[in-house]
Amino acid sequence: MNSRNFCRYFLGTLTIIFCASVAAQIIDTKKAAPKPLFDDPVFHGAADPVIIYNRNKQRWWMFYTNRRATLDDTTGVAWVHGTRIGIAESQDGKTWTYKDTANINYRPDKGYTFWAPDVIEDRGIFHMYLTYVPGVFVDWNHPRMILHLTSTDLLNWKYESTLKLVNDKVIDASVFQLQDGNWRMWYNNEKDGKSIYYADSKDLFTWQDKGKAIAARGEGPKVFRWHNIYWMIVDVWKGLELYQTDDLLKWKKQSERILEQPGKGPDDQAIGGHCDVVVNNNRAFVFYFTHPGRTKDVPGGKNNFDVKRSVIQLAELNYTNGTITCNRDEPVNIQLRAN
């Protein structure tokens, strides 16, 4: 082969490789999860998601706070009260459809508010730890407590108890099983500067408060294990803070937050909020919510649908040398497997 033919052959090979690479990227993008991942069709105010596998239906279920973004609320924050818990369903974690609202059999007050559920399964019984507010209010100055509910089908929930925690203004439970089989719950103590507290249980029914876990402002703690490290993600209203630990007691904060800088995708150009993390097939996926209408130029607090509405988004976490990062603009090819 002379030099001219060799050059033609070499350049042709490079062209084929380049085109194949571009084609693969296009195919991957088509297979990727949409942005936004889910928009509640009732009030367009989905927030605070938690994901669990429904073995009876062989589907993944997402529970979320169903904020009433469409409410004409000139009084203040009534639109984030009077909320029920929405349910969306997916076969693979990529495509989600609206299912229903959870039938929570606890409504002792004329008005009631449900926020930020955490749902786990233990020996065939589902347990929900749910923030309850006894009314529909126009400000934040009212009691909040964490309820314990159980279910066998994930749709109908039986009230078990109101947890006796540090005080009557606690929200956002996250429950995790310890290596010895016992359970630990982290939650937000609003009376102590919105710091993170914790409680322990042997049976998921009786809880003993243990005091402060993290002396910093934040809410929506989420604890998970990945790469043989325990992690906690906390919503700090300017992205998500990350902590890690070996013993689930002493937490070290990561220097960099995730989901702080705006993304480029549809409805993803605002900070990420209160999330869930699903570790599946050695990959970790973060399900978070955004207020697409809230940007640096358009803050919250206005009676405006575009400002109040929220959607669920999805990104994949990356781990390198003890640090978690997240590129929210990378396409996410997700295929959750039953665990």
Q: How far is CA 72 from CA 47, 68, 138, 302, 311, in A?
A: 19, 9, 13, 11, 19
Contact between 86 and 77 under an 8 Å Cβ cutoff? The reply is no
| Range of lowest pLDDT (95-99, 250-254, 299-303) | 299-303
DSSP tag of 34: P
Please list the residues that pair with 86 across neighbouring strands. 64, 101
Coil/strand/helix, residue 183: strand
CA atoms within 13 A on the CB side of 107: 12
Confidence (pTM) = 0.91
For residue 21, what pLDDT band results from cuts at 50, 70 and 90? very low
Coil/strand/helix, residue 38: strand
- Centre a 10 Å sphere on the Cβ of residue 19 and count the other Cβ atoms it contains: 10
Whole-angstrom Cα distance, residue 109 to residue 48? Answer: 23
pLDDT (0 to 100) of residue 123:
95
What amino acid is encoded at 210 in this protein? Answer: K
What amino acid is encoded at 62 in this protein? Answer: M
For residue 317, what pLDDT band results from cuts at 50, 70 and 90? very high
Whole-angstrom Cα distance, residue 186 to residue 166? Answer: 12
Whole-angstrom Cα distance, residue 10 to residue 19? Answer: 14
Listing DSSP states for 193-228 in one string gives: TTEEEEEEESSSSSEEEEEEEE-S--EEEEEEEETT
Q: Closest Cα to residue 35, out of 339, 303, 302, 287?
A: 287
pLDDT (0 to 100) of residue 18:
42
Q: Does residue 296 carry a pLDDT above 70?
A: no
Which helix (H) or strand (E) segment holds residue 31: the answer is helix 3-31
pLDDT (0 to 100) of residue 75:
80
Q: What is the fold, at CATH topology level, of the domain defined by 32-326?
A: Tachylectin-2; Chain A (2.115.10)
List, for residues 218-248, the tens digit of each pLDDT value: 999 999 999 999 999 999 999 999 999 999 9
For residue 301, what pLDDT band results from cuts at 50, 70 and 90? low
- Centre a 10 Å sphere on the Cβ of residue 180 and count the other Cβ atoms it contains: 7
What amino acid is encoded at 317 in this protein? Answer: L
pLDDT (0 to 100) of residue 20:
42
